[in-house]
Amino acid sequence: MQQVKRFSIMLISMVFVAFAASLTIKAAIGLAAWDAIAQSISHISTIQVGTIGMILNISCVIGQMILLKRAFPPRQLLQIPISILLGTLINYFYYTFFASLNLNNYFFTLVIFLIGTVLASFAVSTVMVLNIITFPLEGFCMALAKKTNYRFAIIRQMVDILAVLFTLILTFSLDVPMTAREGTVIGMLIFAPLMGFFIKRLQPIINLKTEKN
């Protein structure tokens, strides 16, 4: 019963992750580095952004399997259906649910972006506290850290830097809309501190609730 409770909370949190991601994409003032790549490729290919994100995330899972081989934890295969769920939900929220949402005022747009960022940090923190699976990109970076003996934080930061550089190359070479903007900087400054805030407060709450069931 305890595991069912934790898994249910994780699925609900994933819905909020997709909802929040769609809000920040709709705001269009800059995305997190990894999301910026997905949006840029979506502009180029005309494939929906959630589908691109799905492909990128599943690629990260495959990367983990290649790097870790037999050491790859079987439960982390759940990253694949979770990636499909996230991509599908983002497509729904962004292209259908928020289709009629017009953001013509910059201040209102910024508020929407901040709401999405705070909500995303809360939902991601919840998934991390539950510790059932890792997110595909973080899982790939952890696998890479294990194989290269570099610290996870360094590798994760390098991935963000490379993602931003790749996004800028796509933007200027193929004339696609800029997806790495002021929102990208804002997210880099506040997302991690917000996660630290939420994780500290969610751990005793979630652990207490699941222990009672």
What tens digit of pLDDT does each residue of 102-160 get? Answer: 888 999 999 999 999 999 999 999 998 998 898 999 999 999 999 998 888 889 888 88
Number of domains the chain is built from = 1
Alpha carbon distances (Å) from 20 to 70, 187, 190: 35, 13, 15
- Tell me, letter by letter, the H, E, C secondary structure of 40-102: HHHHHHCCCHHHHHHHHHHHHHHHHHHHHHHHCCHHHHHHHHHHHHHHHHHHHHHHHHCCCCC
Identify the segments of the chain with pLDDT beneath 50.
none
Cβ contact 80:63 at 8 Å: no
The pLDDT of residue 208 is: 58
Residue 63: domain span: 2-212
pLDDT score at 141: 92
DSSP 131: T
Give me the pLDDT at residue 211, please: 52
Residue 209: per-residue pLDDT: 54
Q: What is the pLDDT of residue 160?
A: 87
Using a 10 angstrom Cβ sphere, with 0-12 exposed, 13-18 middle and 19 or more buried, the burial of residue 55 is: middle
